[in-house]
Amino acid sequence: MRLLERVFDLAIIGGGVNGCGIARDAAGRGNTVFLCEMNDLASGTSSWSTKLVHGGLRYLEYYEFRLVREALIEREILWGIAPHIIRPLRFVLPHHAGLRPAWLLRLGLFLYDHIGGRHLLPATRSVDLTRDEVGKPLIPNRYTRAFEYSDCFVDDARLVVLSARDAADKGAEIRTRTRATEIRQQGGLWHVSMVNTVTGERSTIQARALVNAGGPWVEDVLARGAGVNAKAKVRLVQGSHIVVKKLYDHDRAYMFQNADGRIIFVIPYQDDFTLIGTTDRDYEGDPAKVKATKEEIAYLCAAASEYLAKPVKPEDVVWDYSGVRPLYDDGASEAKAATRDYVFELDTPGGVPLLSIYGGKITTYRRLAEEALERLAPYLRSSKSREGWTGKWPLPGGDMDVSAVDALIAELQRGYPFLSSEHARRLARAYGTRAIKLLGEAKSAADLGQSFGATLTEREVRYLMANEWAVSAEDIVWRRSKLGLRLSADQIAALNDWIATHGVQQSPLLEAGGRS
């Protein structure tokens, strides 16, 4: 077993949005940071979301005012630091007779507009569905009135990867495909034993403080020798989504109310598709094996078809995905009512701190990281001048104004005239200003190397392997991008073969075809 002699200030188990957010903040405050993730970054829960940075309008019904306010504040902060992967999105909420009354919707949206310090996003407006274009995709004469409000879309997996990239740029050591097998105290330090799931190599690191950001595996991590009896419990809730061909031409999303009290979103996705989700159901079993069920797919199709003039059918689904949300178990009787707020449990067995995280939302990940470090402040190096820095410092590629993405696309097309408009737009939205670093001195399409289809080139694959911890086709086409929607199974297999022959070992647990 290889022992890393270096003692880190902070070790983090889990490479989802919470773990990577904490790594980024801690490294930026001057701490030495180590993070291990047993699979790929964002592969557990963080890449299977509804792709929204939002306040959570429906959480107002459960009186989660603090959570909604915090999320609404974070919404514009995150947009400001990552305008390439986060963009404003207007949502249309039709009034459905017999469900929530119009006055209640109006009151909720008034609060939504005003409790979170909205500065840049436009306010709510009333919509006449018989005249406005957003009424055209809906069943004629059934819905006549709606409200249109603001939230934001986010590329969730890229948010995680870019947080890890910024942490690494500030000195953090990020280890993917590295599973923590044992955690124990010894000599006033945490000793974390690990195994590389690809090579089988074993190693151990030491740290003064430990964060358990295992997500759905948070209790499993504690069972690996931590020596604590956690009071908090995790509630696993499955959320599934479907993707279909583009359902309408305008750029607005919809929030649809269902008779069961739940809501679903219908969102323009990847230019040519529509995303529909999500479900909420308690989940038992291995979180790594969660899949959308036929019943969930049928539910989402039926819920959307209650509103849309052209019904959505299961055979229309081109991709589905499912994830397990590791919510804090607050005893709520229904999964839809379980709190989305985050809860910390700080244990100090032998005086050595271990912070476990339960719950949380993508939207509040940055604030969660700040609060986690506040809890750990007595044990870590901390600079008052660096508190709150993550809300001001852009994520990699985000060093531009929120309105400058279109200008960047135009700049890429001027500097690299061989790029198609589709290619330039995709690179700008994924990499921001770092797209120029990726393209380098290329003078022609040939300089980008082999083409794998759907604008994916050898130059980009090499960049992702060197800078973003990608080691398989799945990492690239389903997390670093969503090009799996456009590539055939043969093209994805060819990409896997190329990676295998260029010195990057892959885990046998990964499949080329994604999770559909």
Domain edges within the chain: 2-45+157-233+340-391, 88-153+235-325, 405-501
- pLDDT value, residue 346: 95
Q: Are 424 and 416 in contact (CB under 8 A)?
A: yes
Confidence grade of residue 508 (pLDDT, cut at 50, 70, 90)? very low
Instruction: State how far the alpha carbon of 379 is from the alpha carbons of 184, 265, 372, 385, in Å.
Output: 17, 42, 12, 18
Which phi-psi region, left, alpha or beta, contains residue 71 (left: φ > 0; alpha: ψ -120 to 50)? alpha
Long-range CB contacts (< 8 A, 24+ apart) of 445-454?
A: 445/418, 450/498, 452/487, 452/491, 452/494, 452/495, 452/498, 453/483, 453/486, 453/487, 453/488, 453/491, 454/483, 454/486, 454/487, 454/491
Q: Among 165-169, 259-263, 339-343, 439-443, whose mean pLDDT is lowest?
A: 339-343
Mean pLDDT (whole number) for 367-378: 96
Taking only the tens place, the pLDDT of each residue in 267-325 is 999 999 999 999 999 999 999 999 999 999 999 999 999 999 999 999 999 999 999 99
- pLDDT value, residue 278: 95
Q: What is the average pLDDT value for the chain, to the nearest integer?
A: 93
What DSSP designation does 341 have? S
- pLDDT value, residue 150: 97
Q: In CATH, what class is 2-45+157-233+340-391?
A: alpha beta
Residue 139 burial (10 A CB sphere; 0-12, 13-18, 19+)? middle
Q: For the chain, what is the largest distance between any 2 Cα atoms, rounded to a whole number of angstroms?
A: 72
Query: CATH number of the domain at 88-153+235-325, out of 3.30.465.10, 3.40.50.300, 1.10.40.30, 3.30.9.10?
Result: 3.30.9.10
Confidence grade of residue 6 (pLDDT, cut at 50, 70, 90)? confident
Taking only the tens place, the pLDDT of each residue in 390-407 is 999 999 999 999 999 999
- pLDDT value, residue 505: 42
- pLDDT value, residue 117: 83
Comparing 510 with 492, the larger pLDDT belongs to 492
Comparing 351 with 363, the larger pLDDT belongs to 363
- pLDDT value, residue 513: 32
Comparing 506 with 436, the larger pLDDT belongs to 436
Q: Is the pLDDT of residue 109 over 50?
A: yes
Mean pLDDT (whole number) for 366-378: 96
d(CA 112, CA 108): 6
Confidence grade of residue 4 (pLDDT, cut at 50, 70, 90)? low
Q: Is the pLDDT of residue 376 over 70?
A: yes
Please list, in sequence order, all residues whose beta carbon lies within 8 angstroms of the beta carbon of residue 249, skipping any fewer than 6 positions away.
none
Q: Is the pLDDT of residue 494 over 50?
A: yes
Please list, in sequence order, all residues whose beta carbon lies within 8 angstroms of the beta carbon of residue 285, skipping any fewer than 6 positions away.
none
Q: Is the pLDDT of residue 128 over 80?
A: yes
Nearest to 253, CA basis, from 234, 230, 276: 276
d(CA 23, CA 171): 10
Kindly state the helix (H) or strand (E) to which residue 276 belongs, with its residue range: strand 273-277
Q: Among 106-110, 161-165, 231-235, whose mean pLDDT is lowest?
A: 231-235
Kindly report the number of other CB atoms within 10 A of residue 351's CB atom. Answer: 8
Instruction: State how far the alpha carbon of 275 is from the alpha carbons of 21, 139, 240, in Å.
Output: 26, 19, 11
Taking only the tens place, the pLDDT of each residue in 65-107 is 999 999 999 999 999 999 999 999 999 999 999 999 999 999 9
Partners of 240 in the β-ladder: 322
Predicted TM-score (pTM) of the model is 0.95
- pLDDT value, residue 341: 85
Taking only the tens place, the pLDDT of each residue in 203-230 is 999 999 999 999 999 999 999 987 787 7
Query: Which ranges of 115-186 would DSSP assign to H, the alpha helix?
Result: 156-169
Confidence grade of residue 337 (pLDDT, cut at 50, 70, 90)? confident
Query: CATH number of the domain at 405-501, out of 1.10.760.10, 1.10.8.870, 1.20.1510.10, 3.30.470.10?
Result: 1.10.8.870
